[in-house]
A = this chain, B = another copy of it.
């Protein structure tokens, strides 16, 4: 089971671009940069409760996207398969160049990060 911060970070990596700009700011400050609700409230001139509500709604929305698209769970599965592949490749009777080439291509296959920042959000 992932802890909450890791979970939100993963969700944010995959669906952050679908949040509003304000939601993105709050999620980044709280979950990525570890600012408290109070600190964010001061920075934005809003109440601590408002920050709390914005964050809760943002995380709910990220979880709803995951429930529908499942990109995070696919990412986790892919990571597990990548580990298995690395083990299999390490045991092959191939030379260093071939091994490096295989691992490089497997790495490219696993790049599934981060729509965040790629677009303007608010679809």
Contact = CB atoms under 8 A, between A and B. Distances in A.
Interface of A: 14-15, 17-18, 61, 64-65, 67-71, 74, 77-78, 81-82, 84-85, 88-89, 92-94, 98, 101-102, 105-106, 108-112, 115, 118-121, 123
A115 B14 CA distance: 14
A108 B92 contact: no
Given A68-B123, A71-B71, 16 more contacts: A18-B65, A18-B69, A68-B115, A68-B118, A68-B119, A68-B121, A69-B118, A70-B115, A71-B115, A81-B105, A82-B109, A84-B105, A88-B101, A92-B92, A109-B109, A109-B110
B78 A119 contact: no
Contacts of A17: 68-69
B112 A74 contact: yes
A67 B109 CA distance: 21
B88 A108 contact: no
A81 B110 CA distance: 10
A111 to B, nearest CB: 8
